Chains A and B, each alone.
Chain A
Amino acid sequence: MDRRATFWFLYFPPLLWLGAFFLIPLLLMVAYSFRADMHGSFFQLWQPSLAQYEKLIATGSYWRLLGVSSLMAMVISVTAVILSYPIAYFLAFYGRERAGFYLVLLLVPFWTSYLLRVMAWKIMLGTEGVINSFLIYTHVIQQPLTALLYNRNAVILTLIYVWIPFVTLPILAALQRIDISLFEAAADLGARPIHQFLRITLPLSLPGVFAAFFMVFIPTVGEYVTPLLVGGSRGSMYGNIIQDFFTKAANWPFGSAMSMVMLLGTLIMVGLATRLINLRDFLE
Chain B
Amino acid sequence: MNPKRPVLYQVISMLTMLMMLLSACGGGTATATEAPAPEATSAPTEAPAATSAPTEAPVASETGTLSVLDWAGYDAEDFWVDFKNEYPDVTVNFEIGISDADIYAKMAAGNQADIFHPYTGWLQFYVDEGLVEEIDTSKLSNWDKVPDNFKKIGQINGKQYFLPWDWGFTSVLYRTDKIPEGVDSWSALMDPKYAGHISMWDDGPGAVTVSSYIHGYDETNISADELASIKDEWIKQRDLNLFYWAGEPELVEGMTSGDVWAAYAWQGAYATLLANGVPVAYANPKEGRNSWVGLYGIRKGTENLDLALKFLDAKLGEATGNNVVNLFYYGHSNQDVMNGITDATLKEAFSIDNPDILKTTNFTPNLTAEQRDAWTAMWAEVKAAP
Q: Are B12 and A250 in contact, CB atoms less than 8 angstroms apart?
A: no
A41-B110, A42-B108, A176-B8 known; A236 vs B242 contact (CB < 8 Å): no
Q: Which of A43, A114, A234, A251 contacts B110 (CB 8 A)?
A: A43
Nearest CB in chain B: distance from A247 CB, A = 5
- Quick one: which of A103-134 are within 8 Å of B by CB? 103, 107, 110, 113-115, 126-128
Segment at the interface with B among A164-172, A188-196, A199-207, A271-279: A164-172
Rounded to whole angstroms, the CA-CA distance of A248 and B11 in the bound complex is: 41
A110 B243 Cβ-Cβ under 8 A? no
Tell me if B383 and A249 are in contact (CB < 8 A). Answer: no
A247–B110 touching, CB < 8 Å: no
B30 and A115 form a contact (CB under 8 A): yes
Residues in B whose Cβ lies below 8 Å from that of A54 = none
Asked if B1 is at the interface (CB within 8 A of a chain A CB), the reply is: yes
Contact between chains at B26 and A250 (CB < 8 Å): no
Q: Are A250 and B372 in contact (CB under 8 A)?
A: yes
- Contact yes or no, A169 B12, CB < 8 A: yes
Within 8 A of A (CB), among B89-117: 98-102, 104-105, 108-110
Known contacts A166-B19, A176-B9, A225-B27; is A248 also within 8 Å of B385 by CB?
Answer: no
CB-defined contacts of A229 to chain B, threshold 8 Å: 30, 33
Determine whether the beta carbon of B259 is less than 8 Å from that of A126. yes
Given contacts A103-B12, A114-B26, contact A248 B242 (CB under 8 A): no
Would A240 and B383 be within 8 Å (CB), given that A114-B29, A169-B15, A232-B242 are in contact?
yes
- The verdict on B147 contacting chain A, using a C-beta distance below 8 Å, is no
Residues of B in contact (CB 8 Å), total: 60
A64 to B384, CA, bound (A): 8
CB nearest neighbor in A for B109: A42
Interface residues of B in 41-91 (CB under 8 A from A): none
Contact between B26 and A115, CB atoms less than 8 A apart:
yes
List residues of chain B with CB within 8 A of the CB of A250: 100-102, 104-105, 108, 372, 376
Chain B residues positioned under 8 Å from A110 (CB to CB): 19, 22-23
> A248: which B residues are within 8 A, CB to CB?
99, 101-102, 202-204, 376, 379
Specify which of B11, B12, B19, B196 is in contact with A146 (CB 8 Å cutoff): B196
Within 8 A of A (CB), among B361-386: 369, 372-373, 376-377, 379-381, 383-386
- A97 is an interface residue with CB less than 8 A from chain B: yes
In the assembled complex, which residues on chain B have CB atoms less than 8 Å from the CB atom of A103?
8, 11-12, 15
At the interface, yes or no: A142 with Cβ under 8 Å from chain B? no
**Cα(A249)–Cα(B376), bound, Å:** 5
**A246 within 8 Å of B (CB atoms):** yes
Name which residue of chain B comes closest to A116, CB basis. Answer: B26
What range describes how many residues of A lie at the interface?
35 or more
CA distance in complex: A172, B13 (Å): 11
Q: State in angstroms the CA–CA spacing of A231 and B30 once bound together.
A: 14
Give per-residue flags for B235-246: 1 if the beta carbon is below 8 A from chain A beta carbons, else 0: 000110111101
How many residue pairs between the two chains, A and B, have CB atoms under 8 Å in the bound complex? 163
Q: Interface residues of B: mostly helix, strand, loop or mixed?
A: helix
Q: Return chain A residues, CB-CB under 8 Å to B258.
A: 127-128
B359 within 8 A of A: no
- Does B372 contact A249, Cβ atoms closer than 8 Å? yes
B30 near A127 (CB under 8 angstroms)?
A: no
Q: Does B16 contact A (CB under 8 A)?
A: yes
Instruction: Decide if B34 is an interface residue (CB 8 Å cutoff).
Output: yes
User: Quick check: A99 and B105 within 8 Å, CB to CB?
Assistant: no
Chain B residues with CB below 8 A from A161, complex form: none
Which residues in window 133-164 of B have CB below 8 A to A?
Answer: none
Cβ-defined contact, A233 with B26, below 8 A: no
B-facing residues in A62-104 (Cβ within 8 Å): 62, 64-65, 96-97, 99-100, 103
Query: Residue B383 contacts which of A100, A107, A225, A244 (CB distance < 8 angstroms)?
Result: A244
With A249-B377, A250-B372 given, is the CB distance from A64 to B386 under 8 Å? yes
Q: Could you give, for residues 171-196 of chain A, a 1 whenever the CB lies within 8 Å of some chain B CB and a 0 otherwise? A: 01100110010000000000000000
Q: Is B257 an interface residue (CB 8 A)?
A: yes
Q: Which residue of A lies closest to B19 (CB)?
A: A110
Set of chain B residues within 8 Å of A62, measured between Cβ atoms: 380-381, 384
Is A252 an interface residue when CB atoms closer than 8 A count as contact?
A: yes
- Are B383 and A114 interface neighbours, CB within 8 A? no
Interface residue? B218 (CB, 8 A): no
B105 touches A38 (CB 8 A): yes
Q: A61-B384, A165-B19, A245-B380 are in contact. List 4 more A-B contacts (CB 8 A).
A: A126-B257, A146-B196, A233-B244, A247-B31
22 contacts between A and B (CB under 8 A): A38-B105, A41-B109, A62-B381, A64-B384, A65-B384, A96-B2, A100-B4, A114-B26, A114-B30, A115-B26, A126-B259, A127-B257, A127-B258, A127-B259, A165-B19, A166-B16, A170-B16, A228-B246, A234-B238, A248-B204, A249-B204, A249-B380
Q: List 6 tightest A-B contacts by C-beta distance, closest first.
A: A114-B26, A249-B376, A250-B101, A233-B241, A225-B30, A61-B384
